[in-house]
């Protein structure tokens, strides 16, 4: 997956890019995470060349990729989505056509907001509970059984408890994705105040030299503020 929009633009529409030699009725599928605006522009350029393009970012992390259980959110025409479905079914479990070109990237931005804010919320809960004397594993057990239960506590449980933050999905990449979400918020006139705060937490972690750690290392930012390491 390509790390940012300029790289995707260059590969698809740049000099000697994919569109330079593409055949009519070819289908381009971009499964990276980029700006919805860029996704729409590239789809338009593909159509001008007689081809089609889908934006199909994924969620599910390294575990979902290995297990073939990714959630794939696809923007583009219904017909092109059906053409690509067999490929998506080989990689994912939840495969959803979410709208026209760019819609996949919009939904991915929404996904990354929820994941980042959930990691931050779980981190606050763990640090508060631990500093007050409660075993972190017990906190996760209890929260997982009620309304607060979420996939983050299931997938990232071992990283939280062991403080082993080998990526996974890196802090610096999630920071890039929240940047995309915040830009989309400005474009559509949607305030994303808590997203902006967590974005700054990720920026601070990167400045501390933790940008290459798993995004669950947001826990360490909250620990630093409390001067307390859980467990």
β-bridge pairing 92-99 and 70-75: parallel
Which residues are bridge partners to 96 per DSSP? Answer: 73
What b-and-e string marks burial along 125-142, b requiring 16 or more CB atoms within 10 Å of the CB?
bbbebbeeeeebeebbee
φ, ψ dihedrals at 189, nearest 5°: 70, 40
Which residues are bridge partners to 52 per DSSP? Answer: 27
Q: Give yes or no for a contact between 88 and 56, defined as CB atoms under 8 angstroms apart.
A: yes
**How would DSSP label each residue in 109-123?**
HHHHHHHHHHHHHHH
Catalytic site includes residue 131: no
Upper half-sphere CA count for residue 172 (Cβ side, 13 Å)? 11
Instruction: Look up residue 196 and give its two tokens.
Output: 């902006």
158 in helix, strand or coil? helix
Closest CA to 155 of 142, 145, 169: 169
Which is the catalytic residue, given 23, 45, 108, 176? 108
Alpha carbons 188 and 28: distance in angstroms, whole number: 27
Which residue numbers are catalytic? 108
């Amino acid at each position: 997956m390509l790390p940012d929009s300029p790289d995707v633009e260059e590969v698809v529409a740049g000099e000697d890019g994919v569109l330079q030699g593409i055949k009519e009725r070819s289908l381009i599928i971009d499964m990276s995470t980029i700006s919805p605006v860029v996704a729409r522009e590239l789809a338009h350029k593909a159509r001008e060349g007689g081809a089609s393009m889908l934006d199909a970012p994924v969620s599910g992390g390294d575990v979902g990729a290995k297990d073939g259980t990714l959630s794939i959110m696809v923007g583009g025409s219904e017909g092109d989505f059906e053409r690509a479905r067999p490929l998506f079914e080989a990689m994912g479990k939840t495969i959803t056509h979410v709208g026209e070109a760019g819609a996949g990237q919009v939904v991915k931005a929404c996904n990354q907001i929820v994941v980042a804010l959930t990691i931050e919320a779980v981190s606050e809960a763990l640090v508060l509970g631990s500093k007050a004397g409660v075993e972190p594993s017990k906190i996760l057990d209890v929260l997982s059984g009620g309304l607060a239960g979420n996939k983050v506590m299931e997938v990232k449980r071992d990283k939280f408890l062991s403080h082993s933050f080998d990526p996974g999905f890196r802090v610096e990449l999630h920071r890039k994705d929240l940047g995309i979400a915040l830009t989309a918020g400005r474009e559509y006139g949607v305030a994303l105040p808590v997203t902006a705060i967590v974005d700054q937490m990720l920026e601070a972690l990167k400045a501390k030299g933790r940008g290459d750690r798993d995004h669950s290392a947001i826990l360490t930012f909250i620990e630093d503020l409390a001067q307390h390491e859980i467990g």
